[in-house]
Chains A and B, each alone.
Chain A
Amino acid sequence: MNRTRTLAGLAALALLAAGCSSKAVKEDSVGSDGVRTGPGVTAGTITLGEMADLTGPFAANDTKITNAHQLYFSQLNEKGGVCGRKVRLDVVDHGYDVQKATTLYSDLARKVLGFSQVFGSGVNAALIDKYAGDKVLVYPASGAGPLLKSENILGAGSTYDYEIINALDAWLQEGTVKQGDTIAHVYLEGDYGGTAISGSRYMARKHGLKLTEVKIKPTDTDLTSQIAGIKNAGAKAILVSASPKQLGSVAVASESAGLRVPIVVNGAGWSGDLLEGASRKPVLDRVTVAQSWAVPSMKLPVVENFVAAYQKKYPNTKLDGNVTLGQSSAVVYAKVLQQACADKDLTREGVLKAVGQLKNVDTEGLLPPLDYSVKGHAPATESLLLRPDASVPGGVKAISETRHESKDIAGYTPDYAK
């Protein structure tokens, strides 16, 4: 009796294993067009995964990025797709929940060639070892430097430290700050602030500036006391690498304290919402935004056409920089796929190899020229400097549509790369 049971059990296990293996990752093979294909690639389609936050705390921003990805790839498919194949996005929503994302990832990773988006620094940190095991290329929707150490991460544009360096360089050139001056840097703990502070520390050393570092947590939204400290230190300018709400608090509290000094913020810390309420005046008067990707208000044909199509498809959404961020990153991912196609290798290894071959990638001004040939480095170092303007979509306008690049960047090695 017992033996029968054991046998039955073993048979059931074998069946289960067979069931699992049918779900296993597709083996690499060569198609009739001579292109090697891997998981997620058939004769007619390339499937990419998108793990987005469509219901969590960043839903409003990430919905725009995800919609922009959908729109860009549908436009690309109308023009013939990539390698004679349509690009299909398999979108899942993790709601910014790391546990949920981990579960969703395992299932999705079997079905896709790579991930054109995995949103959220916590989610990426939790999954980064799996990316390496699965050999997938992932766009992380983040400008955090430490992520770039992984060959599985596709940066689009510059990291946060270069934005800070370029903005400080512009200040030094126009005399807003000069040698011996004190500047303050309010930055969020974690990868975002950690990347940004590396840039300000470098510039402070290089130009004899005194840097007051003020580290904050995501829950710190009343920065009055921090501003009192900054005022006491005699800061001539403030750098902010934090959330839009925290930028608002820096602007309003410094205004109340009579500390009316210029403020620079990373693109990730900007929101057009700051142009309402108490923050409106100080933000309009004193804030500059530094980022590498284009904004909807720019007079570039590639931006104007896409923004018009986006508004037609999603008429009820508020336009902002997340739309162009989505467009820019989709363009970059498509460039990688096109390179892999040219190499006749649409396997996961082929895609990873294709990234390293991309040099001087032109995105028609959406991003600075991109160079992926040096591993572990940001593909671009130039930044746009933008000023708040309530009359344009997204609430920011480029001071000059030519990007700024500090000469000091040549001698810069990021702290996180050491």
Chain B
Amino acid sequence: MTKLIELLVNGVSLGMLYALISVGFVVVFRSTDVINFAQGSTLLGGGYVIARLSPHTGFWLAVLAGVAATAAFAMLVDRLLIRPLRQRGARHDVAAIVTIGLDVVLLTDLTRRIGSDMLHLGDPWGNAVVNVGPVTIAQTRVAAMLTALVLIGLFGLAFQRTGWGVAMRATAEDTEAAMLSGVRHNRVTLSAWAIAGALAAVASVFLTASPSPGMDAATGQTALKAFPAAVVGGLDSMTGALAGGVIMGLAESLASGYQEQLSFLGQGFGSVMPWVVMLLVLLVKPSGLFGTKAAARV
């Protein structure tokens, strides 16, 4: 029973991290219809900035700088790569493929910089744990859950209650109509990219903190596990990103923890499980759990 609870807690906290990253996918997709495949390398870049700065500035300042750096970088990507494509009427999938190219370039450079080093972001939690009855949870995991909840909650509120949120939703609904009503589309997309970048840096902190021993060049790949989370939730839904993240975290955690009982499926099924869940969900709901159904006129 303890094991089950531990696995559930771990799954939910892991899922929250995936949710943070997939919210990044969702905001960009809602405002520009582009799937941003460079999110993994942006995350790695954010972690890299934090790791390099934190011995000099301390952890919290380094995180701020990392968040600012990735947000600025993501805005540049939108301004220099995605917006020109959009304005010349390029298809959205072309822009998505541009982000794959960008991901490869960034990843190559960061891999060269990081080498085989393991970078430490200098988080204050270390190995500390919280004991709730018989269940032990790493403090980093609690911090990850709280941070994700607060950030996603804030975005949810901003989406519903602020002028920016209305502009964002209007853009997602019908870009042309929104522009005709005075929504400044370029500004909306720029802010969406900035948010995605900032969230990637925040996620890098928790992806590389305990129980992970630090950040290496492969950390960006781990971030791509958030992909099935975004797709399961429905690529254009904030609630979906949260639900998808938690479902994926739970699926991975339970399948890894009960590996022996699931051995008839083959060893190492834990990392395959999220993709199986994604396929199953998409078979039943092709636009994801909370995604907008594409209306087809006949």
Q: Is B47 interfacial (CB-CB < 8 Å)?
A: no
Residue-wise interface mask of B (8-26) relative to A, using a CB-CB cutoff of 8 A (1 in contact, 0 not): 0011001000000000000
| B79-87, B150-158, B161-169, B208-216: which lies at the interface | B208-216
| Contact in complex: A215, B214 (CB < 8 Å) | no
| Contact in complex: A189, B268 (CB < 8 Å) | yes
Q: Is B57 interfacial (CB-CB < 8 Å)?
A: no
| Contact in complex: A277, B3 (CB < 8 Å) | no
| A225 and B270 contact, Cβ closer than 8 Å, known pairs A56-B111, A219-B222 | yes
The answer, among B117, B141, B211, B271, for a CB contact under 8 Å with A219, is: B271
A229: B residues at CB distance < 8 A? 3, 256-260
Q: How far is the CB of A107 from chain B (nearest CB, A)?
A: 23
Residue-wise interface mask of B (240-278) relative to A, using a CB-CB cutoff of 8 A (1 in contact, 0 not): 000000000000111011111000000110110000000
- Give A275 to B116 CA distance when docked, in angstroms: 14
- Give A258 to B129 CA distance when docked, in angstroms: 10
| Contact in complex: A60, B115 (CB < 8 Å) | yes
B222: A residues at CB distance < 8 A? 219, 221-222
- Give A245 to B126 CA distance when docked, in angstroms: 16
B33: A residues at CB distance < 8 A? none
Q: How far is the CB of A386 from chain B (nearest CB, A)?
A: 18
The answer, among B138, B214, B254, for a CB contact under 8 Å with A224, is: B138
Q: Is B127 interfacial (CB-CB < 8 Å)?
A: yes
The answer, among B211, B217, B254, B270, for a CB contact under 8 Å with A256, is: B211
Q: Is B177 interfacial (CB-CB < 8 Å)?
A: no
A364: B residues at CB distance < 8 A? none
Q: Is B30 interfacial (CB-CB < 8 Å)?
A: no
Count chain A residues whose beta carbon lies closer than 8 angstroms to a beta carbon of B: 50
A33: B residues at CB distance < 8 A? none
| A79-87, A247-255, A292-300: which lies at the interface | A247-255
- Give A231 to B216 CA distance when docked, in angstroms: 27
B267: A residues at CB distance < 8 A? 189, 213-215
> From residue 159 to 214 of chain B, which have CB atoms closer than 8 A to chain A?
207, 209-214
| A225 and B210 contact, Cβ closer than 8 Å, known pairs A55-B112, A189-B268 | no
Closest-by-CB residue of A relative to B123 is: A278
- Give A229 to B222 CA distance when docked, in angstroms: 21
| Contact in complex: B111, A57 (CB < 8 Å) | yes
Closest-by-CB residue of B relative to A257 is: B136
| Contact in complex: A223, B211 (CB < 8 Å) | yes
| A225 and B11 contact, Cβ closer than 8 Å, known pairs A220-B270, A248-B214 | yes
A216: B residues at CB distance < 8 A? 268, 270-271
| Contact in complex: A222, B259 (CB < 8 Å) | no
A258: B residues at CB distance < 8 A? 136
| Contact in complex: B256, A255 (CB < 8 Å) | no
Q: How far is the CB of A219 from chain B (nearest CB, A)?
A: 5
Closest-by-CB residue of B relative to A213 is: B267
| Contact in complex: A225, B138 (CB < 8 Å) | no
The answer, among A214, A219, A228, A244, for a CB contact under 8 Å with B6, is: A228
The answer, among B10, B118, B212, B216, for a CB contact under 8 Å with A228, is: B10
- Give A384 to B68 CA distance when docked, in angstroms: 48
Q: Is A218 interfacial (CB-CB < 8 Å)?
A: yes
| Contact in complex: A217, B268 (CB < 8 Å) | yes
Closest-by-CB residue of A relative to B224 is: A219
Q: Is A414 interfacial (CB-CB < 8 Å)?
A: no
| Contact in complex: B218, A219 (CB < 8 Å) | yes
Q: Is A233 interfacial (CB-CB < 8 Å)?
A: yes
A256: B residues at CB distance < 8 A? 127, 129, 136-138, 210-211
| Contact in complex: B7, A248 (CB < 8 Å) | no
A228: B residues at CB distance < 8 A? 3, 6-7, 10, 257
| Contact in complex: B270, A252 (CB < 8 Å) | no
Q: How far is the CB of A395 from chain B (nearest CB, A)?
A: 12
| Contact in complex: B252, A225 (CB < 8 Å) | yes
Q: Is B221 interfacial (CB-CB < 8 Å)?
A: yes
B112: A residues at CB distance < 8 A? 55, 59
Q: Is A279 interfacial (CB-CB < 8 Å)?
A: yes
The answer, among A215, A249, A278, A279, for a CB contact under 8 Å with B268, is: A215
| Contact in complex: A273, B214 (CB < 8 Å) | yes
Q: How far is the CB of A40 from chain B (nearest CB, A)?
A: 31
Closest-by-CB residue of A relative to B139 is: A256
- Give A218 to B118 CA distance when docked, in angstroms: 15
| Contact in complex: B271, A57 (CB < 8 Å) | no
Q: How far is the CB of B295 from chain A (nearest CB, A)?
A: 37
Q: 5 extra interchain contacts, Cβ-Cβ under 8 A, other than A225-B256, A248-B212, A256-B137?
A: A57-B116, A60-B115, A222-B14, A225-B253, A227-B211
18 contacts between A and B (CB under 8 A): A61-B116, A189-B267, A189-B268, A214-B267, A218-B218, A219-B271, A226-B257, A228-B6, A228-B7, A229-B260, A244-B213, A248-B214, A252-B127, A256-B129, A274-B118, A276-B120, A276-B214, A278-B127
Pick the 10 closest A-B CB pairs, nearest first: A248-B213, A215-B267, A60-B116, A60-B115, A253-B211, A225-B256, A277-B120, A279-B213, A215-B268, A273-B118
A residues touching B (Cβ–Cβ < 8 Å)? 55-61, 189, 212-229, 231-233, 244-245, 247-249, 251-253, 255-258, 271, 273-274, 276-279, 281-282
B residues touching A (Cβ–Cβ < 8 Å)? 3, 6-7, 10-11, 14, 111-112, 115-118, 120, 126-127, 129, 136-138, 141, 207, 209-214, 216-219, 221-222, 225, 252-254, 256-260, 267-268, 270-271
